[in-house]
Structure 1
Amino acid sequence: MQRKLFINLAAADVKAATDFYQQLGFGFNPQFSDNSASCIVLADHLYLMLLTKEKFAGFSPHPLVNGHQQTQVLNCLSCHSKAEVDELVQKAVKAGGNTYNQPQDHGVMYAHGFQDLDGHVWELVYMEMLQASV
């Protein structure tokens, strides 16, 4: 069995959060979605579960943080090119998210990121060496 990764994030408005990620070009899986949760397909075996704050709190051993004021996790997603990094950041901003830094070009690695509607941080990275190993 191949492992699957489900990243669970609390969302103030699951529908708005779902629309945000679909505007970035990610897929949607209705099988794991209802009024309190939405399953976004980031890649094969990689899923983002957007949960209402109430549902998320039911799974969490600790109180929720405000993603606009505190950072609990930095999600990093690899991209196939520098252009894809820039394109996803542009789509995120157009869909209502925001950037929090400038693109970083370190020669062997290119990165930029955004915050979604709930303030969750997403780093996007292109590394040429990853392309050779995939």
Structure 2
Amino acid sequence: MTLSIFVNIPTTDLERSKAFYEALGFTINPLFTDDNAACVVLSDTIYFMVVTRDYLQTFTDKPIIDPKTSAQTQISLTRDSREAVDEIVAKAVAAGGTEPREAQDYGFMYSRDLEDPDGNLIGFLYMDQAAVEQGPDAYLAQQGAGAPQASA
């Protein structure tokens, strides 16, 4: 079985959101895009459904938060290198996103946070493959480093 992930995120301006995610290099699947939602293709199995707030409200009886003022979740996406993390965040900022805090460097993992124009939280990160296979503590011990520390 192939598992696909569709993440619904709210927007107040669907056209702005489509342009933002296309500026990051993602594509829009027109077969699943209309006046209420756009399907942003992140990979062969991962998609953002950028959904108007009014339409998203039809999915639940719970209130839809305003991502500009409240955090519901943060979605983190991997990149192939630290440089690729920096590159996509630069594209995102140029396209209207914001970086709410400085980069975090843990030695085995490098990450940068981003807010899209609606305030939805997205992280981009690179993790050394050896750390993925060994776990961060074993990797850092092998590198002669101590416990991971966040730094800019």
- TM-score, normalised to structure 1, is 0.94
| Structure 1 residue 46 displacement after superposition | 0.2
**1:68 maps onto 2:68 in alignment:** yes
State the Cα deviation string for residues 57-114 of structure 1 (Å, max 9, x = none). 0002310111111101111111111011111111111001100111111110000011
RMSD across aligned positions (CA): 1.5
Q: In 1, Cα distance between the equivalents of 2:46 and 2:69?
A: 27
- TM-score, normalised to structure 2, is 0.83
Q: Please list, as runs of the form range in 1=range in 2, the aligned pairs for 1:74-93 lying within 5 A after superposition.
A: 74-93=74-93
State the Cα deviation string for residues 17-54 of structure 1 (Å, max 9, x = none). 01000000011111110111100001110000011111
- Aligned residue identity for 1:107: G
Question: Identity percentage over the alignment?
Answer: 35
| Runs (5+) with no aligned partner, structure 1 | none
Aligned to 1:9: 9
Please list every run of at least 4 consecutive aligned residues from structure 1 whose deviation after the TM superposition is greater than 3 angstroms. Answer: 130-133
| Runs (5+) with no aligned partner, structure 2 | 134-152
Query: Rg larger in 1 or in 2?
Result: 2
Secondary structure at the counterpart of residue 33 of structure 2: strand
State the Cα deviation string for residues 99-134 of structure 1 (Å, max 9, x = none). 01111111100000110011000111100127977x
Which structure exhibits the higher relative contact order, with contacts defined as CA atoms closer than 8 Å and separated by 6 or more residues?
1
